Amino acid sequence: MMIFSRRILGLALGITLTSAAFAGTWPYTAKPGVQEFTGQLIVRPIQVDTMLSKNWTLDKIRGLQSRVAPRFAKNLVRYYSQTDEYVVKVPAGKTDNSYAKELIDTGDFQYVCPNWRLYPTRNPNDPQYPQQWHHPKIKSNLAWNLWTGSSQQYISFVDTGVTKNHEDLHDLLVPGYNSVDRKTEAEGGDINDINGHGTHVAGCGAAHGNNGIGVSGVGWNFKIRFVRTSNSPSGGASLDDILAGARWAVDNGSRTISASYSGVDNDPVGTTGTYVKSKGGLFFYAAGNDNRDLNMFSYADTIVCGASDENDGKAGFSAYGKGVALFSPGTNILSSTIDGGYGYASGTSMATPITNGAMALIWSANPSLTPDEAQQILYLSCDAIGSSNVFGHGRTNVYKGVQMAMATLAKDTTITSVGVQTGDYTAGNLGSVQDSDLNNAYVLNTVNAGASGTIGAATMTCSLPTDQGTITSFGLSTTFRVSGGRPSSVFAYLLNRNTNKYDLITTKGALPDTNTILSFKLGADATNYVFGDGSVRILVRSVVPQRFGPASGTLSIGYAKGRYSTRPSF
């Protein structure tokens, strides 16, 4: 049996962050074997929504957009349109820190982050156990009585490669990708394991179960689309290559993707999580093995995983706190090894793929769940094992998660009424808000509201059944377009049944004559907006501010659809 023994610590503590535009601690500090400078930075310009929220004029917005790309004409490594991020070389005579500060001082960037060379996260082993203790702890065995997984569920691990002929993995692997060389296997990309970390990670989440040999992953039948993100025997990988691998995985059909590396507290990790979610997936990242309190950030879309022990305590090495979403078992985890056998290892590197596998099992029980809904079920199904200031939502319980996913099957809702709140109705009807073609949308002329600018608003109602359990979430997605040649903001409000007043839920900035998606999702607060008859009453309001001068136009609303979920009793 192979036993992992190499010790790679988590990130250095560093100095307190002094500017929101710097990703991580400032000044940036390298630590050999944990995070090392590469002479490259990852930079992201200020986004249009942020510029509109700061009342920037259209000329100022376009001015920034015209400056960014030419600035990197001589030192651009690559550009990612998916996340609007530039990877750039540090010019000669400058350091990673000095060039980062120079870019931040322009005021043009949301963040600047070193393209760190990062390393897999793992710790020395504790005493071995003769079985996979973590399955009973997260109740995998009970979940398998309800659901064992689906071969239609694609799961990815971004790591050091995989032993392709391993008896517990080989029949589950589909063609993968080498994110260092930017090559698929068909193009000659090598995904064979060069370190051992990746094979163990893959087995934690998705080893073939119920096949009479070896060990079992959290789900039995997933297809594994592996991404090798390192060509170094040490397993070291650049932040750029790790995140590019995650984006490739979701772009090629994987719904759950995990990376068991250091570097969690860098803003691009959150940006890639948001991209993965926008493409229909969820991204998991290891909290790290440095016992840090990650209280300096909290990602909405990247799920950061801590490690718990056999007694449902925090593993001594595991990072914790505000930035950690949940915990999963991460000590003495028995899984597949690079030599074709099995061995124990500990770390948030193990907890992260176990969480990935749990989410894949839950999601495959109801593939129609949105990423937001799947994420919420994962959180709601966790068992509380201590303070949320340490453990976040708690420790994964895959049995509860599968139950909740099955209880939410086929729970969509459509708009049942639509009307004018502000403006003059010109075209469309109730059916129009279900039509993805905005040429046939529900259309309002805007009206002048003095100092506020021009406004158009429409009311919509969804009806939810009242006999299928407690509503735990409600969301709406609608496509809109505002004409008139001016930047605009569109606001979504819900009528609060307790106050009988509309509450602002979300806002979205948009450039003129551009199809834009407005969406929101409510969790714990959803019940405040569901009336006794099951109705949810929505107000969508467009505003073209007076600061852009006299303006008139239309608000077009189309393809509006709600989704809701319920929580069963346990």
Q: What confidence tens digit (pLDDT) does each residue in 292-341 have?
A: 999 999 999 999 999 999 999 999 999 999 999 999 999 999 999 999 99
Contact 519, 475 (CB under 8 A): yes
The reported pLDDT for the residue numbered 567 is: 60
10 pLDDT tier (thresholds 50, 70, 90): very low
The reported pLDDT for the residue numbered 468 is: 66
Q: How close are the terminal C-alpha atoms of the chain, in Å?
A: 40
User: What amino acid positions are annotated as catalytic residues?
Assistant: 159, 197, 349
Average pLDDT of span 453-481: 86
The more confident residue out of 14 and 461 is 461
User: pTM here?
Assistant: 0.69
Give the bridge partners for 153, in sequence order.
none
The reported pLDDT for the residue numbered 121 is: 60
Contact 58, 547 (CB under 8 A): no
Contact 155, 206 (CB under 8 A): yes
* DSSP-derived secondary structure letter, 142: H
| 3-state secondary structure at position 430 | helix
Distances (CA, A) of 157 to 168, 211, 255, 288, 451: 16, 22, 11, 16, 53
Distances (CA, A) of 187 to 178, 204, 252: 10, 28, 15
The reported pLDDT for the residue numbered 12 is: 24
Q: Which amino acid is at 142?
A: L
Contact 112, 41 (CB under 8 A): yes
The reported pLDDT for the residue numbered 324 is: 98
How many whole angstroms separate alpha carbon 130 and alpha carbon 133? 8
Q: What tens digit of pLDDT does each residue of 103-151 get?
A: 999 999 999 999 998 877 643 332 333 468 899 999 998 888 888 888 8
| Tokens of residue 191, six digits | 């995904």
Q: Which amino acid is at 388?
A: S
The more confident residue out of 174 and 145 is 174
Average pLDDT of span 187-215: 94
- Out of 306-315, 410-419, 538-547, give the one with best mean pLDDT: 306-315
The reported pLDDT for the residue numbered 131 is: 67
20 pLDDT tier (thresholds 50, 70, 90): very low
Distances (CA, A) of 475 to 54, 522, 534, 545: 27, 6, 14, 27
The reported pLDDT for the residue numbered 326 is: 98
The reported pLDDT for the residue numbered 24 is: 55
Contact 50, 540 (CB under 8 A): no
Which residues, at least 6 apart from 449, have a Cβ–Cβ distance to it below 8 Å? Answer: 422, 455
Average pLDDT of span 415-426: 92
* DSSP-derived secondary structure letter, 327: E
The reported pLDDT for the residue numbered 473 is: 81
Q: What tens digit of pLDDT does each residue of 519-532 get?
A: 998 877 888 999 98
Residue 364 φ then ψ, to 5°: -70, -20
The reported pLDDT for the residue numbered 9 is: 24
Structural domains of the chain sorted by starting position, each given as residue range(s) with its CATH number in brackets: 39-115 (3.30.70), 134-407 (3.40.50.200), 412-567 (2.60.120.260)
How many whole angstroms separate alpha carbon 120 and alpha carbon 236? 7
